[in-house]
């Protein structure tokens, strides 16, 4: 295991690694961070979760490590995401389809919406959601996908349910667990 103050390549300073056709390159800067650049195809393969998500995560990590490595803040400031990356429900634009999804989840978890009503309304809000400004951070996106998969296992008419299908209560418990984890995303991260 290499510590952050040790140079894993045995070289002090910056190191540039490039693919033979120069479609992509990796700059290792003093072993504290690295920068990846390249064509759209190269970056899509190297960073399948997206450049903006990577830049947003680097910014969060830079703020978390600022006391020890203040130079990371300057690098993060020069490389902000091109689009905002929403890390939690507090980042969501009020009145958007995504805000509606979160509101429906919270209302259902609290018991103010019946399971069949939630099962019809939430996917409708999700279908309206594709909006270029709404790029979600991976943990947030995973939680929304979890609700989608819960609904895949739920049948609104109890008479049509097969063994193993979620009941109203099973769906509510699953959504409550997701809402709880969404709230954890809103808590400040500790270093």
For residues 136-145, average pLDDT? 90
Q: How confident is the model at residue 146 (pLDDT cuts 50, 70, 90)?
A: very high
The rounded distance, in Å, linking the Cα atoms of 89 and 105 is 11
Confidence band for 135, pLDDT divided at 50, 70 and 90: confident
User: What's the start-to-end Cα distance of the chain, in Å?
Assistant: 20
Distance CA 42, CA 109 (A): 42
The pLDDT value given to residue 166: 94
In the chain the domains, ranked by start, together with CATH numbers, are 1-48 (no CATH), 49-82 (no CATH), 89-185 (1.20.120.650)
Write out pLDDT tens, residues 44-53.
888 877 787 8
Query: Going by DSSP bridges, is the β-strand pair 85-86/135-136 parallel, antiparallel, or unpaired?
Result: parallel
Assess contact for 156 and 90: CB atoms under 8 A. no
pTM over 0.75: no
Q: What is the pLDDT of residue 75?
A: 86
């Amino acid at each position: 295991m290499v510590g952050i103050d040790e140079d894993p390549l045995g070289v002090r300073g910056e190191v540039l690694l490039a693919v033979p056709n120069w479609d992509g390159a990796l700059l290792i800067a003093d072993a504290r961070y690295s920068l990846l650049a390249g064509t759209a195809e190269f970056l899509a393969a190297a960073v399948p979760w997206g450049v903006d998500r990577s830049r947003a995560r680097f910014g969060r990590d830079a703020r978390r490590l600022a006391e020890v490595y203040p130079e990371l803040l300057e690098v993060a400031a020069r490389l902000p995401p091109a689009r905002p990356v929403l890390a939690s429900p507090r980042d969501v634009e009020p009145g958007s389809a995504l805000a509606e999804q979160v509101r429906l989840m919270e209302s259902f978890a609290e018991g103010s919406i019946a399971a069949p009503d939630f099962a019809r309304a939430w996917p409708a809000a999700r279908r309206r959601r594709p909006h270029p400004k709404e790029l979600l951070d991976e943990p947030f996106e995973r939680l929304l996908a979890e609700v989608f998969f819960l609904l895949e296992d739920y049948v609104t008419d109890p008479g049509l349910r097969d063994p193993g299908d979620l009941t109203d209560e099973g769906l509510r418990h699953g959504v409550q667990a997701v809402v709880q984890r969404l709230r954890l995303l809103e808590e400040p991260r500790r270093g």
